[in-house]
Structure formats: structure tokens, C-alpha cells
Amino acid sequence: MIRIILLFVLIAGSVWLAVWLADHPGRVEIEMLGYAVYTEQVGLLIGAIVVFTAIVAVLYRIWRSLRRAPRRIVEHRGASKRQRGYQALTQGMVAVAAGDSREAKRFARRADSLLNDPPLTMLLSAQAAQLDGDEDAARRYFESMLDDPEMAFLGVRGLLMQAMRNGDNPEALRLAGRAQSLRPNTPWVLKYLLQLQVQAAEWEAADGTLQQVIRQGAVDAGTGRGQHAVLAVAFSHEAAAAGDQAAAAKQARRAHDLDPALVPATVAYAKCLAETGKARRATKVIEAAWSQAPHPELAAAYGDLAGEDEAPLDRVKRFQRLHSLRPEHSESHLALAEANLAAQLWGEARRHLEQSESVPRSVRVLRLLADLEEQEHGDLKAARRWLDEAATAPMEDAWYCDSCGSIAGQWGASCASCDSFATLSWQSPPGQRITPPAALPAPETAE
Ligand SMILES: [Zn+2]
């Protein structure tokens, strides 16, 4: 708009000047280098000067663009080369995604020759080498990325993944630490770092990493608290194995405070209390956990609170007390049945086995029934039948990994199969549900 007004003003000014010059005739005289030019048509002179200036300007522009032409041609060629290079890079990435190593390598070479930017094409070359199964070549590419500050993180990532695939945990831990120093808050780096610190039993470092994970919001506060408890139990187990009872007790107590529902924490804490002569307190800790959720490992720890020389009837009395806290629960019946069996109270043992609500009968119930037949009646055939049934009985509740689904013989801070941290939980076998209780028939004794 402003331009149009300016143009309008310019045209109006020119017209006014032309008219004014026509109305005021004059004379211009130029004398230079012995020549003299004079005219009485001032308007014509101004017009000639304007035309001359315009021609000079046009000629100057033509000369300037001719002078720049070679450079522009070179620039254009470079841009087209770069474009083709990026195209090759993209096609190479697509080939990697499709798993076509031959194409990926071909495009990597092409991108490399067109772009002349090694860091940019190195990742593609490394991925193409990995597709080809050439891990050594991939490692060389990843290692050369480390020299470039912008590519270093990608290089470390590639090397870290290689180390983890090869099961080289110390090297993986070192690389995870380096990745964290390059990008401190990257969630996957923190996840691997925590997992590797747990495997290396670096409990305090793992605790710090977990705090960072929680701050990042990758894990909510409640879950984070539970995971801190898992770390503390594992720390306590290790300290106890190394004979450092004070540290074991401190960590076990911390674990139990953080997550009272974590059975291994309760067991570790009760054990530490019992070992320092606080058996009454240990009993209370297990009983409190039992009244919340009975668990076979709690029953085992409860049994261990008294020494080996405990009279069987005293043991029955103690387990009667535990049973009374959750009299309806199958674990309460099983625990008391076992104590009765040890005290040779056959009738009571059978009664509690019958009351334990596990149909189909669990392996543990079937084994106890076999024990009962053998000890009460000396009936080895009947015992054998129960044991045969136990061999084909459905699996029982156990520690399962929530990440890979594998079953763990015993609880640990990380899964022995997939190395995931804090993924073990006590669960029924997948696809199995315990049906409601039914009367337990006595086994046929006649063959
Ligand atoms: Zn697992």
C-alpha cells in the first residue's frame, strides 16, 4: 500500500516537474576538456540523463550476473548432490527397517560418496553392518562416532547394545555411565543403568539412579517406593552373606518400612531380628504380615524362628496361633497341617489338608498327603499314588517375572531370565485359576 502511494507521489512529482520545466524555459551550458555543450531544452537533457542512467544500471546487472554464473552453477550442482545424498540416506534407513542388508549397504556407500559427511552416514553403515551380522565392522563404526561430539551418544548407544547382547555386563555398565554423562535424563539410559547397577550389586549407586528415575516421572512414587524396598532387600541379603549383620539388619528394616507387603523384606527383617535375640519382635512382624496376606515363605520363616530343638508340640502351638490370624486361608491350613504332621498328630494333619482350599489339589498338598499315608499307615502304595498325582498336578503360585513371564525358583531383585529389575511378583500360573474347594476323598488303598 505504502509502495503504491510512493509510486503515485513519484509520478505526480514527475508530471509536475515536466510541466514546470515547460513553463520555465532555460538554458544549460557545460564546458569540459575543451568541449562545450549547451541546450535550451532542459527537460530533454534531464530525460537523456535518466535514460542513460537506466542503461548503465541494466548493463551493470547483466555484467554482475555473468560474473557470478560459474559459482552459481557449482552451487546448484552441490545442492543437487546433497539432495541425492540425503535421498540415498533415507532409502538406506528404509532398507535397514526392512531388514535388507544388501540395499542398506549400497545406499550407505552412495550416501557416503555424495554427502562427504562421515558422521552422518556412519550410523547407517553401522546398522547395515549389523544387519549383515558383521558386529566387528559395526563396532568400528560406533567407535569412530565417539570422536564426534554430536555423534558420540549414538556411538555409545550402539556399543552399549552390543555389550548387552554379548552379556558383557561390566562393559555395558561402563558404557551406560558414559551415556548418562552425555545425556543425563534419557529414560532408557537410566533404565539400563539401574538394571546393570543391580546386576553388579552396586546398591547405593542403583538407589541414586532409581531416585533419578522417579524424579523423571518414568516410575510413579508408589512403585518407586516398592523398588527402593527391593533394592534394600537385595542389599540386606548380600550384607548378610558377607557377614555384615549390622548392615543387613539396617537394610532389611528399611525395606520392610518402605514396603510392608513385600514378603522377602518381611522375611529378611524377621530373620535379622531373630539373630539379634529379638525373637518376640520377629514373631510379631511375621504375624502382622500373615494377617494381611499369608505366604508360604512367611510360614517357613515363622518355623525358623525357633531353633531345631523345638518340641513338635510347641511348634504346633505356635502354628495354631499363626492359623488363628487367617483361619480361612489355605496357607494357614497347610502350615498347620505340616506342623501337625511333624508332631505325628495325623487326624489334625488330615483335617487341615482337607480344609486347605486347593482343588485341583496342589503339589504341596499331594506331597503332604503322601507323607501322611506313609507315616500314619505305612501305606507306600497310597503314598506313591499321591506322588504320581503330584507329578501331573497343576503348577502352584510362584515368583513370576512380569516382563518376560518366566518363573523364578526364588525371589531376587532382578529376573534371572531377562535381567529386568523389580519385575518378580507372587502370582498364580498364567491361565490357571484355583476352583472352589470340594471334599477331599481318601485315596483308594486297594490296587
Ligand atoms: Zn524376566
Q: What is the mean pLDDT of each run of 10 residues along the chain (447 residues)?
A: 78 75 72 76 75 88 87 82 86 86 86 78 86 89 88 92 92 95 92 94 95 91 95 96 94 96 97 93 96 95 89 93 93 93 89 77 86 86 88 87 92 92 91 51 44
Q: How far is the CA of 299 from the centre of ligand 1 (A)?
A: 26
CA of 253 to the centre of ligand 1 (A): 27
Contact between 408 and 429 under an 8 Å Cβ cutoff? The reply is no
Distance (angstroms) between ligand 1 centre and the Cα of 418 equals 4
User: Using CA atoms, how far apart are residues 142 and 361, in angstroms rounded to an integer?
Assistant: 56
Pairwise CA distance, residues 154 & 136, whole Å: 17
Q: Which amino acid is at 95?
A: A
* Beta-ladder partners of 37: 30
The whole-angstrom separation of Cα 226 and Cα 224 is 5
- Residue 334: the pLDDT is 92
Give the 3-state secondary structure of residue 407. Answer: strand
- If you measure from the C-alpha of residue 258 to the centroid of ligand 1, how many angstroms do you get, rounded to a whole number? 23
Cα(416) to centroid of ligand 1, in Å?
7
Distance 417 CA to ligand 1 centre (A): 5
Give kind and range of the element (H or E) at residue 425: strand 424-427
Distance 191 CA to ligand 1 centre (A): 15
Residue 78 neighbours by CB distance under 10 Å: 10
Separation of CA 425 and ligand 1 centre (Å): 11
Q: Which residues have CB under 8 Å from 284's CB, separation 6+?
A: none
Phi, psi of 414 (to 5 degrees): -135, 160
Amino acid letter for position 78: G
**H or E, element range at 97:** helix 42-98
Find the 415 Cα to ligand 1 centroid distance in Å.
5
pTM of the model: 0.71
Sheet holding 424-427, edge to edge: 407-408, 398-401, 424-427
Q: Which residue has the cell 545406499?
A: 107
Q: What letter represents residue 197's amino acid?
A: Q
Distance 130 CA to ligand 1 centre (A): 26
* Contact criterion met (CB below 8 Å) for 117 and 148: no
* d(CA 380, ligand 1 centre) in Å: 40
103's grid cell? 540395499
- Which are the contacts of 250, defined by CB distance < 8 A and separation ≥ 6? 236
Residue 148 DSSP one-character state: S
Q: How far, in Å, from the CA of 400 to the mean position of ligand 1?
A: 8
Distance linking the first and last C-alpha atoms of the chain:
111
Number of residues assigned to the chain: 447
Query: What contacts 403, CB < 8 A, 6 or more positions away?
Result: 415, 418, 420, 423
Residue 410 half-sphere exposure toward CB, CA atoms < 13 A = 4
Beta pairing partners, 36:
31
Dist. CA 426 → ligand 1 center (Å):
13
Are 298 and 290 spatial neighbours (Cβ–Cβ below 8 Å)?
yes
CB 421 within 8 A of CB 413: yes
Distance 407 CA to ligand 1 centre (A): 8
Q: For CA atoms 22, 23, 26, 28, give the dihedral sign.
A: negative
Gap between the Cα atoms of 167 and 396, Å rounded: 31
Establish how many alpha carbons lie within 13 A of residue 310's alpha carbon, considering only the half-sphere containing its beta carbon: 18
- Grid cell 525373637 in the structure block, residue: 279
H-helix or E-strand spanning residue 369: helix 363-372
Cα atoms found within 13 Å of the Cα of residue 355, Cβ hemisphere only: 18
Q: CB of 93 within 8 A of CB of 124?
A: yes
Residues linked to residue 425 through DSSP beta bridges, in sequence order: 400
Alpha helices by DSSP H, listed for 146-278, are: 152-165, 169-182, 187-199, 203-216, 221-241, 245-258, 263-275
Nearest Cα neighbor of 367 from 390, 401, 346 is 390
Q: How far apart are CA 286 and CA 302, in angstroms?
A: 7
Cα 220 off chain centre by:
14
Cα–ligand 1 centroid distance for 421 (angstroms): 8
Residue 214 Cα to ligand 1 midpoint, Å, equals 21
Ligand 1 centre to CA of 424 (Å) is: 8
- The pLDDT value given to residue 408: 92
Q: Rounded CA gap, 298 and 286, in Å?
A: 6
Q: For residue 390, what pLDDT is reported?
A: 85
